[in-house]
Amino acid sequence: MKNILSCFTGASKNNDSLDDSKITVRESAFVLGAFLVLACFFWGRYLIGQQTLFYDTLFRLFFPNAAFVRDSLSHLSFPFWNPHLYSGVPFLANIKSALFYPATYLVVFMDFPTALVLNMWGHSVLAGCVMYAFSRELGLSKPGAMATSVVYAFNGFFVMHYSFPSQFYSYAWLPLILLFGVKYQKTSNFRFVLYASIVMAFQVFAGHPQFVIYTVLILVVFLLSVMPWKKTVLLTGGVGGVALLLTSVQWIPALNLIFKSTRFHGQGIDWATAYSLHPVEFAVMLLGPLWNQYFVPQSGDPHIVGFYVGLPVLALCGFGLSKVCWRQVRVFWVLVCLGVFLSFGKYIFLYEWVLGFCPWLGVLRFPAQSLFMVCFGLSVAAGFGFDRLNVGKKVKWAFLGIIVMDLFLFSLKGISSVDRTVYEACTPLTDYFQTNGKGARLMMSPRTRLQHTRRGKNETQAWLNYKDSLVPNMGMAYGLYDADGYEELRFQTYEQILGEMGKDPLSPWLNVFSVRFILSFWDIPQAGFRLLKQGLIKVFENPHVLPRAYFVSDSLIMDSKDILSFVAQNPEHDFSRQVIFSKKQVKRTQNLHQPHQEQPGKAVVHVARYLTNFVELHAVTDVPGWVVLADTYDVGWTGRVNGEKVSILQANYIQRAVPVEPGHHVIELTYRPPFFFLGAWLSFIGFVLCLVVLRRKNTN
């Protein structure tokens, strides 16, 4: 394909409105100042007032995560493991936690609402500035590049993704990766490949792999328009390969978790195509002036499937479709068409074939997220159309002001806010559990969770009541322990346990996983639970609950696939007398064949310390057996008994057990993500290699 960059260069020579692509210090300062002001215009009101950014996903997922990170680091413990959800689940391996992304740690120094707004402000400035630099490298004039950058940094799709910070952060880095790709094409200087790789590493660490994959797709399509396909493959492979090496510390543990998660196993085509954007609704959001109203699409959450660029931007895109501009903008229209096609998902009959060809798209889900490509393509196309306007500079800047106001008016409705009290206030139920039964595990009844709605005399009170009900993951923000959770990256085996708990309030799994408190809007008479507290939500105590840690002297061996059915058919099975191991566990371990004890023996077990990645148990027993911890098992857990290394066994389908002999024992369980140290070493090696190569290049 003919080199598109030569088209840009030629246009620059023949069009007086286009300036040289080299950006001066003065120009850089102006652009930075402009976007600092514009970002304050869009986000500043949520920083200085009582109202702050809010959305359901922010409240239930990112706010508890931030509280957990802050609490863990305050105790000098890096949060590899999350003991507060799903009876324990990996935290670092959940890529959405973004523990290697610098912006995550603002919550350590300030409250969550303030950190959130500052991150939105900072990443909007980042998106605008790097998009400006990329646009100028393409040959756009200063006003044209500014138009492109404004649309990219403040379009409705990007702005509404404040409710998904990991996606917001990932979006901002795309133009810088493309900028370094262009510079490599012009200079063949390998250091630009490394720069692009480092930026892509930041995008990976930001915590949303779907946007990283779309970035790679955009990079490939764009590079094919400026260089031969073999060179494109090598460049993209080089950028992606180095980025993978640099981010090994994140994606290797993440991949290990994904393979064991509900997300990897999937739930069919309907699950994979959830949040597909209906073509009619796409047309409404594309062509309708949506300011001063808030269109709620039937395709799903508007913060996922929604977008807005406005009619002024569309007019610019159309104006740029002239013969003079077409060769320059066609690659961006290809990206627009590709993004639209993917966003329609289940509404396009070919999409199922695409899933068969690219099954990883099914794992990512949410086809409407490919609007990322649409907004990027339209932003650049609008910049070229802006340069084609045959009007004076004052008129151009006035038109740019209209675009800013159009996008701002949309943001007034697209961005939700709430009184800061909703984040900051403790509630009666959280105070109750922190005083009574701190450290015990709780769970909302499945029926209550399914039919839960917000109730209150006003919005603030409704959300406070919602918070007080301890719907997952709210308890995590206050150090409480939940047998349930609100996160898709959980173990598939534990999901099966949750399914068993949801079938019957008398499920023995409630006892096995030490669920002491049940939260429900309704009475549960058949279970024999004891009512402890009336209020917005009722608190029941499970009288049959097993301790968090206990001793067992006998075992039962069976196929792992039979354990769930065995427990369902034998609900009276006494787990405190007989632990269940799988036959696979027997093959891997030599010490499971304990003789049946005529008498269970005497034993005392208590939890001495229970930290994020560490549990210390003290046990005294007069017969051999196992100390069972009613927490989720993962291969990253290692154990010591009286200082000696021991194997931690997978017991009762997905719990932890440690073999012990008669006597007094100090049992220490420590967690590190599987393959974490391998990933850390690979990332370190990649970082050192990048520094060495860059230093040598600069020296030469």
What is the distance between the alpha carbons of residues 281 and 567, in angstroms, rounded to a whole number?
Answer: 48
Residues pairing with 627 in the sheet: 551, 658
With 0-12 / 13-18 / 19 or more C-beta atoms within 10 angstroms meaning exposed / middle / buried, residue 433 is buried
Q: Which pLDDT value is given to residue 613? A: 95
For 168-230, the DSSP string reads HHHHHTHHHHHHHHHHHHHH--THHHHHHHHHHHHHHHTT-HHHHHHHHHHHHHHHHTTS-HH
Q: Which pLDDT value is given to residue 597? A: 55
What is the distance between the alpha carbons of residues 215 and 167, in angstroms, rounded to a whole number?
Answer: 12
Determine the angle formed by the axes of helices 428-435 and 459-468, rounding to 10 degrees.
20
pTM over 0.75: yes
Q: Which pLDDT value is given to residue 373? A: 96
What is the distance between the alpha carbons of residues 340 and 80, in angstroms, rounded to a whole number?
Answer: 38
Residues pairing with 610 in the sheet: 615
Q: Which residues of 27-40 are buried (b: 16+ CB within 10 A; e: fewer)?
A: eeeebeebbbebbe
- Please list, in sequence order, all residues whose beta carbon lies within 8 angstroms of the beta carbon of residue 494, skipping any fewer than 6 positions away: 86, 87, 89, 632, 654
Q: Which pLDDT value is given to residue 371? A: 95
Q: Which pLDDT value is given to residue 271? A: 75
316-371: per-residue pLDDT in tens?
A: 998 877 766 777 889 999 999 999 999 998 898 777 777 777 766 666 778 999 99
Sign of CA dihedral 153, 158, 162, 164: negative
Residues pairing with 615 in the sheet: 610, 669
Query: Are the C-beta atoms of residues 428 and 478 closer than 8 Å to each other?
Result: no
384-433: per-residue pLDDT in tens?
A: 999 888 888 888 899 999 999 999 999 988 899 999 999 999 889 998 99
- Residue 146 CA, distance from chain mean position: 31
Q: Which pLDDT value is given to residue 329? A: 87
Task: Return the ∠ at Cα 698 (arms to 696 and 700), rounded to 5°.
Answer: 70
What is the distance between the alpha carbons of residues 120 and 44, in angstroms, rounded to a whole number?
Answer: 10
> Sheet of 614-621: strands edge to edge?
603-610, 614-621, 663-671, 637-641, 644-646
What is the distance between the alpha carbons of residues 26 and 436, in angstroms, rounded to a whole number?
Answer: 62
Q: Which pLDDT value is given to residue 16? A: 36
Residues pairing with 579 in the sheet: 555
Domain residue extents for the chain: 4-43+92-418, 428-541, 549-677
Query: In degrees rounded to 5, what are phi and psi of residue 513?
Result: -95, 20
Query: Are the C-beta atoms of residues 168 and 158 closer than 8 Å to each other?
Result: yes
| pLDDT lower than 70: segments of the chain | 1-21, 265-267, 291-294, 323-324, 359-363, 587-601, 697-700
Q: Which amino acid is at 67?
A: A
Q: Which pLDDT value is given to residue 336? A: 95
Please tell me whether residue 639 adopts helix, strand or coil conformation.
strand
Query: Are the C-beta atoms of residues 554 and 579 closer than 8 Å to each other?
Result: yes
